[in-house]
Amino acid sequence: MAEEKLSDVEHIKIDSNYLRGTIQQGLDDDATGAISEDDTQLTKFHGFYQQDDRDLRDERRHQKLEQHYQFMLRLRLPGGVLDGKQWLVLDDAAHKYANGTLRLTTRQTFQYHGVLKENMKPLLQATNEVGIDSRGACGDVNRNVTANTNPGLSAIHAEVFDWSNKISDALNWKSSAYEEIWLEKKPEKEDEEPLYGKTYLPRKFKVAIAIPPLNDVDVYANDIGLTAIVEDGQLAGFNVAIGGGMGTTYGEPATYPRLASLIGFCTPDKVIAVCQTIVKIQRDYGDRTNRKHARFKYTIDDKGLDWIQSELNERLGWNLGEAREFHFDHNGDRYGWVEGDNGQWNLTLFVENGRIADRDNAPMMSGFRELAKTHKGEFRVTCNQNVIVANVAPEDKDTIDEIVQKHGLKDDSKDSALRLASMACVAFPTCGLAMAESERYLPQLITKLDNVMRDAGLKDDAIVVRMAGCPNGCSRPYLGEIALTGKSLGKYNLYLGASFNGDRMNKLYRENIGEEEILDELTPMIQRYAEEREDGEHFGDFVIHAGIIKPTLEGRLFHEDVDPGA
Ligand code: SRM
Ligand code: SF4
């Protein structure tokens, strides 16, 4: 590949001296709240995105002020597990160095928003002090490794959690730029990147581990989706699926969401080698000229799945085994108390769209802080942006319940089945790519849909609703039974008919519609569903049975409008 064809970001990486660039000089420059444009690409590898408050853009422009630059920090938290001491430090840092909230993400970790340049170092030093870093949380490398939080299968969960940590470490970048810049430690050895080399990957890369029957990680949305195979109560190994991804750009059919393809099985002792080898294939063959075509899914579709499989087998020196039997029930969370097979209890709490904040009549941040002071087990963040208070001794359940009650961490009057199954990405005001509201708007739309569901007698039905502020797919909308992706302020594309367990994507149903049309479309469907469904059927299936959407098993989203009568 001729050098001049490489994308700009490739040059920035090559010239960065192993991801240092001029980040330190940028931090020292107090004439601006921003850092240099090139460095904004490099800080991603360290976990930071430069943003500005979009609510203030016009006002600042009017006042001839520079934009209100600030940073988002994403932490690396494989498997989403942390203890009470760590939680308290994250909470404290949110008040001292960010906007006073914590944001749980769809990849099982925490984000800080509104971090000013001068607070970046102290913030990272605080989290690193309790063993939580942000290396590789963003950037052209492997991201946070997610793992199922299944509270019922405690022993298998512990084992899978261990593998998520090992995979995360094995796929992380190694240069000492991180310690040097943020922790002010002198490098102890020469920099090298044995896995990635100086140009890292062509694009982001994601790994998830599911434990059937739950697919809460949405395993098929990942570049590598591992499904734990449990036989006779033991972890026998992992089914391996490759090439999942959600991102697409409107009007560019060459970009599309894709579900990962199942290619085989490996035993646990081989899983690191399998992941590293797949990453190396993407490193060597991924497109470094066009970032919109650089994800592994496109490498697979360009080269062919067979070619990728034989390349993998050849590099490994052995062949993956045949994929083993398994079954997924659904991709949501199980709320309330669940007893683990170790006799300890686990409480899953709903956090609407992942935002933990103290609001009038809902002191959620304070509630979790109280839990963190008291709880002796760990917390687990789920890929549905919720929190599990995990490993609670039977005798401690009442104390946990009291704190939950006192701080309104559970609100049965508000938390309908529909709301509990909903999820929105961040979007405005921090996301630079947002075209429409998401986190700030979905709660209101759900309230309206709740009325429709209640009137239809479906108040206990958990239909998976997902909203995103643009087509990039951060809330994995193409796996929502009902999904909305932002087109412009107040306007969304409506998608319908994904399966209930994350193994089939939905299809575009209406384009560019506002709230009134959304409700006009969904109300009669929900009413008809209530009339026609048989017990146990799910909405995604109903949509197909009712003939509104033809099913797609090809793993591709259909972009043409579908005739409701077809
Ligand atoms: Fe995402 C970009 C937020 C999960 C696909 N995502 C962004 C940025 C950083 C916007 C930007 O590039 O300037 C968003 C920051 C918003 C903010 O203000 O915080 C952002 N993504 C998020 C989070 C926080 C959404 C949430 O509400 O939880 C999730 C953080 C996950 C994490 O902890 O690592 C998040 N993003 C996802 C997922 C879901 C997943 O991984 O399971 C996807 C779809 C899966 C995939 O990768 O294909 C996803 N984000 C994207 C894309 C499209 C990538 C593509 O292949 O086209 C972008 C845009 C890009 O990379 O160019 C993006
Ligand atoms: Fe931003 Fe779009 Fe991702 Fe939402 S889906 S957080 S609007 S990039």
User: What is this structure's pTM?
Assistant: 0.94
Residue 72 Cβ inside 6 Å of ligand 2? The answer reads: no
* Contact of 334 with 348, CB cutoff 8 Å: yes
Choice from 467, 472, 478 to test ligand 1 binding pocket (greatest atom count within 8 A of CB): 472
* 247-251 contact pairs (CB < 8 A, 24+): 247/295, 247/471, 247/472, 247/473, 248/471, 248/472, 248/473, 248/557, 249/292, 249/471, 250/471, 250/487, 250/493
Q: How much distance in Å is there from the Cα of 537 to the middle of ligand 1? A: 31
Residue 429 Cβ inside 6 Å of ligand 2? The answer reads: no
Predicted confidence at residue 386, as pLDDT, reads 98
Predicted confidence at residue 541, as pLDDT, reads 40
Residue 247 Cβ inside 6 Å of ligand 1? The answer reads: yes
Catalytic residues: 74, 143, 204, 206, 425, 431, 470, 474
CA distance linking residue 152 with residue 215, whole number of Å: 14
| Residues 6 or more apart whose Cβ sits within 8 Å of residue 245 | 206, 221, 222, 223, 257, 258, 295, 296, 297, 473
Q: How much distance in Å is there from the Cα of 425 to the middle of ligand 2? A: 6
Predicted confidence at residue 533, as pLDDT, reads 60
Predicted confidence at residue 511, as pLDDT, reads 96
Predicted confidence at residue 402, as pLDDT, reads 98
Residue 386 Cβ inside 6 Å of ligand 1? The answer reads: no
Predicted confidence at residue 565, as pLDDT, reads 29
Q: Where are the beta strands (DSSP E) in 269-403?
A: 336-339, 345-349, 355-356, 358-359, 362-363, 378-381, 387-392
Q: Which ligand is nearest to the CA of 71?
A: 1
* Contact of 280 with 224, CB cutoff 8 Å: no
> Which parts of the chain sit beneath pLDDT 50?
1-3, 535-566
Q: Which ligand is nearest to the CA of 203?
A: 1
Return phi, psi of residue 507, to 5°.
Answer: -135, 150
Predicted confidence at residue 532, as pLDDT, reads 66
Predicted confidence at residue 560, as pLDDT, reads 32
Closest Cα to atom 31, ligand 1: which residue?
107
Residue 472 Cβ inside 6 Å of ligand 1? The answer reads: yes
Predicted confidence at residue 151, as pLDDT, reads 73
Q: Of 566, 524, 526, whose CA–CA distance to 549 is shortest?
A: 566
Closest Cα to atom 60, ligand 1: which residue?
472
Q: How much distance in Å is there from the Cα of 471 to the middle of ligand 2? A: 7
Residue 470 Cβ inside 6 Å of ligand 2? The answer reads: yes
Predicted confidence at residue 544, as pLDDT, reads 39
